[in-house]
Amino acid sequence: MSPSSRRSSLRLLSPLALAAGLLGGALACGGGTGPQGPTGPSGPSGQDGKSPGPVRLLDDKVGRWLPENRARLNELLTTQGVASATFDPRNRPVAVFDWDNTVVKNDMGDATLFWMLRHDKVRQPADGDWGQTSTHLTAEARTALNTACTGIAEPGAPLPTSTQPACADEIVSIYSRNLTRGGEDAWDKPLTQTINTAYAWAAQLQAGYTPEELRGFAQAAYAENAFNPLGTTQTVGTTSGLAFHVRVYDEMVDLIETMQVNGFDVWILTASPQFVVDAISEELVGVKPQRVVGIRTVADANGRLTARLRGCGTVADGADTLITYDQGKRCWINKAIFHLPPERQLARAGEESQRQVFAAGDSDTDLSFLQDATRLKLAINRNRVQLMCNAYANAQGRWLVQPMFVEPRAQQTSPYPCTSALDAVGQPITDEAGNPFTQDFEDRVFALP
């Protein structure tokens, strides 16, 4: 059975069978086939100087792409992939996908943290001091966590959050609302252009485990979430209404697989923890763990993760001010994919050969790496102002807007306030050339065909 067929079967298995399949490890290589495209012109990649063969195009039976988007993506596959005369296997075209709400519906970082709380996997910090989990927690948040959680487990031991709801509720409130249960600010600076402190905390709360242990947690969390009906919610502690459903988009599976067989170097870039996404990426969409870049934390001498964040650019390990978020995503692309020197990692690479040809995302915080793409930029429409202003401005005609594949958002009834909206640091939002917008844009692409 080919990997694409096996991945399709995994998505239809029971949660128990899926968990067993995921825990079984990597599968053999191969690929299913979509419609056959034209034979490309001769190129340098074959040993005989000819192109390696016909291009596999997107499967026209996976039918929720807008027709124009499908056509533009097929054109990219043909002109940039193995059938192109310019294809160089030593310098393959790079494609980068955000994960949560781009490749899958809902958020695997959320799902895994909630699973850990429901299964007593978050550990008591050393000395019971919650300030050690994040340097960005306010004094009020540290007090709230120390009060709710410190007395219920020894330092380093798992917290019994499944039976001690006050501790679970405090963690959930700080993570999901940026507030303590008492309504006080939880973070000294919740958002910057390089960090979302709550997202970072989800990775920092995994301290004390090995990567393989964390991958097991993520696989179990996915198995619990994947087959619940749309809109299913769960209760963690006494906090109800939390999402309890994650589903991979078939269209994105087909796109990623088709890019790979056409010679693209496909990467996942996510603001979820590294080992949450790389635990499932290969089984679900065929992207190997070493092609996943998520929030990374520093390991100790025994290989167990700590609460300190890995740095990028000129930001050192342990500074805890940058993750794969907003402009931090650009930094990690430049570091992990293109291996630029640290002093160049936070800025857009000047040479197109050092940038991705394609990028896909759904959020304002995907904007920097979408803007950097040199051929096509796919925006999943979730009514995010900065992203949609850029997408509808459509610089150089390289933006595609696609409604969400599952439960698409309703039309934004008023124009996006491109000329007046502010970014995370309070500055006017800009287009990809760095210029302020001169017009607001109507929401035009929101319904599936």
CA angle 117, 119, 295 (to 5 degrees): 50
What value does the CA radius of gyration of the chain take, rounded to a whole number of Å? 22
Would you say residue 46 has pLDDT above 50? no
Domain ranges of the chain: 3-101+251-301+323-403, 108-243
pLDDT tens readout for residues 213-236: 999 999 999 999 999 999 999 999
pTM of the prediction? 0.90
Mean pLDDT of the chain: 90
Say if CB 142 and CB 150 are below 8 A apart: no
Say if CB 104 and CB 62 are below 8 A apart: no
The confidence band for 50, taking pLDDT boundaries of 50, 70 and 90, is low
Q: How many CB atoms lie within 10 A of CB 333?
A: 27
pLDDT tens readout for residues 363-380: 999 999 999 999 999 999
| 392 DSSP 8-state letter | H
Provide the percentage of residues in the chain whose pLDDT is more than 90.
86
- The string of DSSP codes covering 277-321 is HTTTHHHHHS--GGGEEEE-EEE-TTS-EEEEEP--TTPPTT---
The pLDDT value given to residue 172: 98
Among 429, 61, 409, 440, which residue's Cα sits nearest to residue 258?
61
CA distance 405 to 47: 40
The confidence band for 62, taking pLDDT boundaries of 50, 70 and 90, is confident
The pLDDT value given to residue 21: 52
Regarding predicted confidence, which is higher, 48 or 359? 359
How far is Cα of residue 177 from the mean position of the Cα atoms in its chain? 20
Q: Which class is 3-101+251-301+323-403 in CATH?
A: alpha beta
Joined tokens for residue 67: 């027709």
CA distance 255 to 258: 5
Which residue matches tokens 């000294």?
188
Joined tokens for residue 401: 């807007």
The pLDDT value given to residue 20: 47
Burial class of residue 366, CB neighbours in 10 A (0-12, 13-18, 19+): buried
**Least trusted range by pLDDT, from 41-55, 251-265, 398-412:** 41-55
pLDDT tens readout for residues 170-213: 999 999 999 999 999 999 999 999 999 999 999 999 999 999 99
pLDDT tens readout for residues 392-446: 999 999 999 999 999 999 999 999 999 999 998 899 999 999 999 999 999 999 9
Say if CB 234 and CB 114 are below 8 A apart: yes
Residue 389 parent element (H or E): helix 385-393
